[in-house]
Amino acid sequence: QVQLVESGGGLVQPGGSLRLSCAASGSILLCRDMGWYRQAPGKERELVAGITNGGNTNYADSAKGRFTISRATNTVYLQMSSLKPEDTAVYYCNADCTDRGFRRNVRWGQGTQVTVSS
């Protein structure tokens, strides 16, 4: 089994920064794609940024130039800068990993609240 544990959310003023972390643990052989999604009240969950195990990244238009995704083996980070009130949402980590039994595990983190408000 693969588990994801997120940390780093909180309350920040507009223009501020936050760094989210998500660590995958368990009997992991490798994690391919990892990413961050967010869901605001009354809205659907949307991709914020993704990164492959080769380091290729992709970003939602709303995140380009402000957010940076990175990873270290099976931990993925999201550095968020110039935050806006519209970035307020629950942020979820997602990972597509293979365990040592060669089973595919697509997992979601528990979610972490990010609130941007003065």
Q: What is the pLDDT of residues 42-69, one digit of tens each?
A: 999 999 999 999 999 999 999 999 999 9
Is residue 110 scored above 90 in pLDDT? Answer: yes
% of the chain exceeding 70 in pLDDT: 100
Phi (first) and psi of residue 86, to 5 degrees:
-75, -5
Give the integer Cα–Cα distance in Å for 97 and 2.
Answer: 8
